[in-house]
Amino acid sequence: MASPRGEFSSRFGFLMAAAGSAVGLGNIWGFPTNAAENGGAAFLFAYLLLAFALAYPALMAELIIGRHARANGVTALQLIATGAKSRAFGTMVGVLGIITVSFILSFYAIVSGWMLAFLIQPFAVWLGLDGFANWLVSDGVTRNALFVVVFMLLTILIISAGVKEGIEKWATRLMPSLVLILLCLIFYVMTLPGATEGLRAYLVPNFAALAQPNLLVSAMGQAFFSLSLGVGTMLVYGSYISKSENLPLIGSLVALLDVGIAVLAGLLILPAMYVALASGVEIYSDSGALIAGPGLIISVLPALFDSMGIIGGVVAAAFFALMVIASLTSSISMLEVPVSFVVEKKAVRRPAAAVFIGGVIAIISLVIVANFDVLFDSVVTLTTEMSQPLLGLFFCIFAGWIWNRSTILDEIRQGSPEAGSGFFWRIWPFYIRFICPIAILLVYLQQFT
């Protein structure tokens, strides 16, 4: 029998869960390096603009649809459809979301597995297990396979426990720790030589970069990935929000938290890179650009921690704990999408669904691990650059063109009775109907020109 639907027990619980989904490797790794590569504060400016003008309205569409339908993504979109065609469209968008998020999780878990291995390494050093410590930080199929499985097990464990006892409980523990570790690391790194150079690279805008067509594409991709949009994650979390919650308000708090933590992470990563440079670590690739891909996290920063002497181990453990926490609160939100679907549609018990689906995703991850050079980049591009923004666009079409406007307002009014005359309602309906779809489409198509 399917278990009854869960619900977040408090506003704080929802905020931590949704911000936990949003804040992930995308914020701590993706955003700062994207900014460093694309004109520093100019990228920040474009990102803020797109996050609030395009991603926030799309986030609201998912939250409203989810809370109204109180169901998984596929059922929710079918429910708000108005005829056979829009129902088929809803089924397609929901199913594509499930497929996309499962593949996102399959590559995300690989990178998160690296973070786990790097987190354990300083402890292995302290215990004098030098060979093991070395193995943990050396690239290899066995290490990658083992840690992807461990990471998926952690994700499955939390999701098996349900909305309150799993997602909410862990998000409310982990997210405050994340903020605390991040702040401590920023304060520490700022005291080191070279940090101000990094701040300059991050915060002094090069507005010429705004003219690069790729800047907007990167900023939009970053904003959609960062807010976990298009794949039904926010819809499913929205379906667990109490009817008495003020949706526009908590949606904007989630967006603010996500953007705020990305901006804060920039205050850590960029200064850390220039501190590394000051201590002799290479931070530029052969092409002269800053090292931004996996090399940044698994070679530049570890080299920096190594150069710090005894305290380096503590800083490394704190940094990788930060990464693991960020990953885990995101990965649980990804697994929740297919699990909620199977639990509700097929009347399977939650733990069984979590183990089965998590297991299938882990197998996909293992296939990618075994064929890393051929598969990894393509899976990332296909899911995050091709599929996710397009699905975000479909959600806007659903909320702006298919779903009945007065039902939307009724839904929002449940938690905020005066919403009909408020700022949000004056702007959002027009925005989600015209501005968002056109802007997303324009930016999306730009990547093919």
- Residue 387 binds ligand PFF, judged by CB under 6 A: no
Q: For the window 72-111, what string marks contact with ligand PFF as x by the rule CB under 6 A?
A: -----------------------------x--x-------
Let me know: does 37 contact 222? Beta carbons within 8 Å: no
Nearer to ligand PFF, 190 or 380 (CB): 380
List the one residue from 6, 13, 24, 198 that touches ligand PFF (CB under 6 A). Answer: 24
Nearer to ligand PFF, 38 or 226 (CB): 226
Kindly state the smallest distance separating residue 22's Cβ from ligand PFF, in Å.
Answer: 5
Buried b (16+ CB within 10 A) or exposed e, 240-260: bbeeebbbbebbbbbbebbbe
Let me know: does 432 contact 57? Beta carbons within 8 Å: yes
Nearer to ligand PFF, 26 or 437 (CB): 26
Per-residue CA distances from 431 to 45, 424, 425 (Å): 20, 10, 10
Nearer to ligand PFF, 21 or 78 (CB): 21
* Stretch of 24-32, 85-93, 208-216, 293-301 contacting ligand PFF, by CB under 6 A: 24-32
Closest CA to 230 of 16, 25, 444: 444
Let me know: does 57 contact 396? Beta carbons within 8 Å: yes
- Residue 220 binds ligand PFF, judged by CB under 6 A: no
- Residue 148 binds ligand PFF, judged by CB under 6 A: no
Kindly state the smallest distance separating residue 392's Cβ from ligand PFF, in Å.
Answer: 11
List the one residue from 61, 109, 154, 231 that touches ligand PFF (CB under 6 A). Answer: 231
Of residues 329-358, which lie at the interface with ligand PFF (CB under 6 A)? 330, 333-334
Let me know: does 273 contact 97? Beta carbons within 8 Å: no
* Stretch of 19-27, 87-95, 287-295, 363-371 contacting ligand PFF, by CB under 6 A: 19-27
- Residue 226 binds ligand PFF, judged by CB under 6 A: yes
Beta bridge partners of 290: 284
* CA-derived radius of gyration, the chain: 21
Instruction: Say how far apart CA 170 and CA 164 lie, in whole Å.
Output: 9
Nearer to ligand PFF, 333 or 365 (CB): 333
Residue 290 three-state SS: strand
Instruction: Say how far apart CA 421 and CA 308 lie, in whole Å.
Output: 57
Kindly state the smallest distance separating residue 79's Cβ from ligand PFF, in Å.
Answer: 21
Per-residue CA distances from 224 to 53, 330, 388 (Å): 12, 14, 7
Positions touching ligand PFF (CB under 6 A) are 21-22, 24-27, 101, 104, 225-226, 228, 231, 233, 330, 333-334
